[in-house]
C-alpha cells in the first residue's frame, strides 16, 4: 500500500516562496517576478501569462481565467 503524504501549505498564504520544494518551479523566474501584494487584476493576468510560459509550479486561477475571457470578449477577435 503506497504512502500518501499530506502536503502542508500555509492556508491563505499565496507567497510563491513557500512553493520552493514543489516540482517544476522556476525559482529564478519567481525571484525576478515577485507578484505585488496589492496587484491589480491586469497585473495578475500579465503575471500569470508570463508565469505559465516560464514556470509550471501552479496553474492560472479559474478566477483569472474567467477575467481573461471577459477581456478577450471586450477586445474582440485577436488578429493573430
- Write down the least CB distance from residue 26 to Zn ion, Å: 6
Closer of 58 and 67 to Zn ion (Cβ)? 58
Beta-carbon-side half-sphere exposure of residue 48 (alpha carbons within 13 Å):
16
Closer of 37 and 75 to Zn ion (Cβ)? 37
Closer of 57 and 67 to Zn ion (Cβ)? 57
Phi-psi category of 4—alpha, beta or left, where left has phi over 0 and alpha has psi -120 to 50? beta
- Write down the least CB distance from residue 36 to Zn ion, Å: 16
Q: By the criterion CB under 5 A, which residues form the site for Zn ion?
A: 55, 57
16 with 30: CB under 8 angstroms? yes
Amino acid at each position: 500500500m503506497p504512502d500518501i503524504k499530506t502536503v502542508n501549505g500555509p492556508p491563505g498564504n499565496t507567497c510563491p516562496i513557500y512553493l520552493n520544494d514543489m516540482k517544476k518551479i522556476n525559482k529564478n523566474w519567481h525571484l525576478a517576478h515577485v507578484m505585488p501584494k496589492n496587484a491589480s487584476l491586469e497585473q495578475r493576468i500579465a503575471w500569470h501569462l508570463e508565469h505559465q510560459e516560464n514556470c509550471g509550479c501552479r496553474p492560472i486561477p479559474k478566477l483569472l481565467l474567467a477575467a481573461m475571457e471577459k477581456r478577450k470578449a471586450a477586445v474582440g477577435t485577436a488578429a493573430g
